Amino acid sequence: MNPFSSGNRLRDMIRAIRACKTAAEERAVVRKECAAIRAAINENDQGYRHRNLAKLMFIHMLGYPTHFGQMECLKLIASAGFPEKRIGYLGLMLLLDERQEVLMLVTNSLKQDLNHSNQYIVGLALCALGNISSAEMARDLAPDVERLLQFRDPNIRKKAALCSIRIIKKVPDLVENFMYPAASLLKEKHHGVLVTGVQLCTGLCKVSSEALEYFRENCTEGLVKTLRDIANSPYSPEYDVAGITDPFLHIRLLMLLRLLGQGDADASDCMTDILAQVASRTESNKNAGNAILYECVQTIMSIEDNGGLRVLAINILGRFLSNRDNNIRYVGLNMLMKAIVVEAKAVQRHRATILECVKDSDASIQKRALELVYLLVNESNVKPFTKELIEYLEVSDQEFKGDITAKICSLVEKFSPEKIWYIDQMLKVLSEAGNFVKDEVWHALIVVISNASDLHGYTVRALYRAFQASTEQESLVRVAVWCIGEYGDMLVNNVGMLDIEEPITVTESDAVDAIEVAIKHHRSDLTTKAMALIALFKLSSRFPACSERIKDIIFQNKQSLLLELQQRSIEFNCILQKYHNIRSALLERMPILDETTLRGRKDGSLPTAVSTSTIIPCDLPNGVAEPAAAPIGDLLDLSLDDVPPPISSCGDILQDLLAIDLSPASALSGTSHPPKAGTDVLLDLLSIGTLVPAETSPSALDISSSGQDNKAPLANSNGLASLPLLIADSPASSAGMMDLLDAFDPITQKLEENGPAYPSIVAYESRSLRMTFNFSKQPGNPRTTFILATFTNLSPNVYNDFLFQAAVPKFLQLHLDPASSSTLPASGDGSITQNLKVNNTQHGKKSLAMRIRIAYKTNNDDILEEGKINNFPRDL
């Protein structure tokens, strides 16, 4: 007997654990018990095996690791007696799940037990199989389960039926084997078998249309009759729940009938009478009755149209909604969501009630109702609905604000009849709950603002007012800062005054004050500060009078602890001081942002994130926007491919919208890494700054014009991706980012000379050998890279029988041309060249990689050198 497990009973252990006052004490007790159990397991102590497993299960429930007991379950299951098996199977279901490989070991025991003479043991095995079987087990044991569907004892038949559901879910191609036995279960009188049989049929219908067809053909009438018998059956105490005979069976039957009736007029017709009877005669004062009515209404709504029945169902709905029980109201809303597809008008009738439910104190109901509202809104009622929701937003709970904000934004975007209304509503939302507004939403707002050229003045003034009222909401601050930066002159001069506006007087220094507040506010994050810095920079050309002050503020950020701000302020400062001539061109207003790109990006790359807020900005004519936006649009499309997918939320849309090819950005920050979210808004704003003048005033600066010249062919060959690397790798970028403008010159020159070129790399170098790669691509075929490999001998000996071999991962295809020679002269006195062609099937996603092997003879020695090349330029 081992010294630890002194026959401590399960009950004693539970008591000991319950007596613990602290978590530490509990851990100590559990540790001691586990040690004892482990010791017993090691000794293979049979007498207490089931007790130990029971203890382990309790310990498991407390959340402690118990994997060491898994094998004990298998041993218990393999033993002969019922008590051991019972606890063994229980442990198996509790401690393991279908993904553990240990489970495979139990298949054999299960098979034996499924054929056991004791029906309770068969029952245990079925239960375990039904609860945790994996696909392999399901396939292996399906024939046994199928046989048990006809077992003499009904309790085994019902277990086998449910087990079959699991099997067909795991292995759908077994459906055929179960179809006919399942159909015969429907004729049973035993309620347990009947209810499980109905569920099995439902399961079969869900996985196979063939089964659905079969049951529809052969069982619809029988099921209708069964339901009628049950509904009309006299009081039977065994199955009675609140005066209704077996509501569970009712519900399962209705569920199956729903599947059978859906899309089939004959089957639907067949069940009309009984549905009408259930809908009208079921008592609705108890939960069980309501559960049946709920199911019945769903069935009526799903099967083929029958006017009378629908009316009945809608009436029940009305009753549910006005019920005082929250549960009933909840399911009422749930049903309305389904009904809205077929009976939209009837649902619209309940609009007021639904809006009331949005304001309910119960979060579950609120959520349901809000989703329903979302479905109810259309072009004609968007205004009153939005008004209600925004009013409610002001008083709603904090945790609900996120949801409701998302819905409002999405509705406003989807259905707004005019831009000014859209902007107004968004401003309200931003000032009320701006912190809950997702980034893509305010990005979209900026795009819309940018496109509404007649509303620029109005918007910037409204934003300024809202900003003055409160700076609490981050995204309001961002949008305001952006607009003031862009349209600051309109703010000051009251340009484009609308009739509905009250005039305000804002001086230039007021506007700068506002931005200063944003940049200095302790709660502003990096994105906001970065945007504010750019806005200031832009204002420096709009408000020449304030430029000294702006310079001061920008200068203060030189000491910022945030690297981005620091670097940017140094650069801006440099531009303000040294490059007066280009400043005004650099800081011109943004070209109008392209709505279609935004939309394309929304639809394409963010399908799940925006299910609640699919952005479809108002379809208003772009006016002057089109021609100006076109060239940028082209670049944008390309840069979309170029941006690696993992770039996260903050700022990336804006980044794409605002201009963005990554090249100047990476040049500025001196790295070739994809930019991180949040910080690049700034970079990109700047990059557009350098590009815009190129398009609008070609003579402004040769760097920008040459940049543009080069960009066109690049863009055509889809080789934009090459640019960042080139810049990053070229020595110029290390020359210091202070000289960012100067730094462009050598690069651009190089660009002009070589076209889209890649720097050569030293792919491999050892004491005796160096291999360099030169890259080239054919225009219009970005996937294929031509590599010229040059081998140089670094030793004083001649190499003979020189052989170069290379291997690449699967997504690449490699073609090797013969080498120029097989003899490599000594001491770098000549070289061997060899051409390689690599086709990258994952171009833009993965960069090249290669393993190489070089064999040669020197002084009659065979030499083998091996290596791995992963310093390929990215985006090859």
Angle at 786 between CA 780 and CA 787, to 5 degrees: 155
**Contact by Cβ (8 Å): 542, 586:** no
Closest of 660, 694, 657 to residue 675, by C-alpha:
660
CA pair distance 538, 524, nearest whole angstrom: 19
Question: Which of 5, 70, 290, 840: binder of another protein (CB under 8 A)?
Answer: 290
Question: Which of 34, 37, 58, 317: binder of another protein (CB under 8 A)?
Answer: 58
CA pair distance 623, 451, nearest whole angstrom: 8
Least Å distance, CB 103 to another protein, is 11
Site membership for another protein, residue 876 (CB under 8 A):
no
Which residues within the stretch 354-383 sit at the binding site for another protein (CB under 8 A)? 361-365, 367-368
Which residues within the stretch 777-816 sit at the binding site for another protein (CB under 8 A)? none
Least Å distance, CB 294 to another protein, is 5
* CB closer to another protein, 130 vs 873: 130
Q: What does R_g of the chain's alpha carbons equal in angstroms?
A: 37
Closest of 663, 644, 667, 710 to residue 847, by C-alpha:
644
Least Å distance, CB 120 to another protein, is 5
Least Å distance, CB 239 to another protein, is 6
> On the CB side of 91, how many CA atoms lie within 13 Å of its CA?
30
Angle at 576 between CA 573 and CA 582, to 5 degrees: 135
Burial (CB count within 10 angstroms: exposed 0-12, middle 13-18, buried 19+), residue 278 = buried
> On the CB side of 830, how many CA atoms lie within 13 Å of its CA?
12
Site membership for another protein, residue 238 (CB under 8 A):
yes
Least Å distance, CB 208 to another protein, is 17
Site membership for another protein, residue 199 (CB under 8 A):
yes
Question: Which of 49, 252, 443, 843: binder of another protein (CB under 8 A)?
Answer: 252
CA pair distance 803, 795, nearest whole angstrom: 17
Site membership for another protein, residue 604 (CB under 8 A):
no
CA pair distance 513, 264, nearest whole angstrom: 69
* CB closer to another protein, 54 vs 586: 54
Least Å distance, CB 364 to another protein, is 5
**Contact by Cβ (8 Å): 50, 59:** no
Least Å distance, CB 328 to another protein, is 8
Closest of 58, 118, 63 to residue 85, by C-alpha:
118
User: Which residue type sits at 350?
Assistant: H
Least Å distance, CB 314 to another protein, is 19
* CB closer to another protein, 83 vs 623: 83
Q: Coil, strand or helix: which one is 425?
A: helix
Closest of 479, 395, 397 to residue 437, by C-alpha:
479
* CB closer to another protein, 69 vs 707: 69
* CB closer to another protein, 191 vs 601: 191
CA pair distance 629, 634, nearest whole angstrom: 9
Least Å distance, CB 318 to another protein, is 17
Site membership for another protein, residue 353 (CB under 8 A):
no
Residue 146: other Cβ atoms inside 10 A: 18
Site membership for another protein, residue 260 (CB under 8 A):
no
* CB closer to another protein, 134 vs 494: 134
CA pair distance 477, 518, nearest whole angstrom: 7
Least Å distance, CB 635 to another protein, is 39
Site membership for another protein, residue 433 (CB under 8 A):
no
Closest of 14, 16, 81 to residue 46, by C-alpha:
81
Question: Which of 3, 6, 22, 99: binder of another protein (CB under 8 A)?
Answer: 99
The residue range among 55-63, 260-268, 647-655, 770-778 that interacts with another protein, by the rule CB under 8 A, is 55-63
> What contacts 471, CB < 8 A, 6 or more positions away?
477, 517, 518, 521
Instruction: Tell whether the torsion through CA atoms of 832, 838, 844 and 845 is positive or negative.
Output: negative
Least Å distance, CB 615 to another protein, is 23
Helix axes 625-642, 595-605, angle to 10 degrees: 30
CA pair distance 201, 180, nearest whole angstrom: 10
Question: Which of 72, 113, 144, 295: binder of another protein (CB under 8 A)?
Answer: 295
**Contact by Cβ (8 Å): 303, 268:** yes
**Contact by Cβ (8 Å): 160, 151:** yes
* CB closer to another protein, 80 vs 500: 80
The residue range among 61-69, 793-801, 811-819, 841-849 that interacts with another protein, by the rule CB under 8 A, is 61-69
CA pair distance 725, 708, nearest whole angstrom: 17
Least Å distance, CB 10 to another protein, is 8
Residues in the chain: 876
Give the per-residue contact string, 116-155, with another protein (x = CB under 8 A; - = no): ----x--x--xx--xx-----------------------x
* CB closer to another protein, 204 vs 741: 204
**Residue given tokens 């030293």 in the structure block:** 762
Give the per-residue contact string, 311-330, with another protein (x = CB under 8 A; - = no): ---------------xxxxx
Question: Which of 37, 179, 182, 251: binder of another protein (CB under 8 A)?
Answer: 251
Least Å distance, CB 61 to another protein, is 5
Question: Which of 37, 122, 162, 553: binder of another protein (CB under 8 A)?
Answer: 162
Site membership for another protein, residue 722 (CB under 8 A):
no
Site membership for another protein, residue 331 (CB under 8 A):
yes
Least Å distance, CB 255 to another protein, is 8
Site membership for another protein, residue 676 (CB under 8 A):
no
Least Å distance, CB 234 to another protein, is 16
Question: Which of 183, 288, 452, 536: binder of another protein (CB under 8 A)?
Answer: 288
Diameter of the chain measured on Cα atoms: 107
Residue 844: other Cβ atoms inside 10 A: 17
Helix, strand, coil in percent for the chain, rounding step 5: 65, 10, 25
Question: Which of 34, 74, 76, 90: binder of another protein (CB under 8 A)?
Answer: 90
Question: Which of 239, 421, 786, 811: binder of another protein (CB under 8 A)?
Answer: 239
Site membership for another protein, residue 166 (CB under 8 A):
yes
**Contact by Cβ (8 Å): 478, 531:** yes
End-to-end Cα spacing for the chain: 69
The residue range among 249-257, 449-457, 500-508, 841-849 that interacts with another protein, by the rule CB under 8 A, is 249-257
Angle at 223 between CA 151 and CA 196, to 5 degrees: 35
Site membership for another protein, residue 287 (CB under 8 A):
yes
Residues forming the site for another protein (CB under 8 A): 11, 14, 18, 54, 57-58, 61-63, 65, 81-83, 86-87, 90, 93-94, 97-99, 120, 123, 126-127, 130-131, 155, 158-159, 162-163, 165-166, 191-192, 195-196, 199, 238-239, 241, 246-249, 251-252, 255, 287-288, 290-291, 294-295, 326-331, 334, 361-365, 367-368
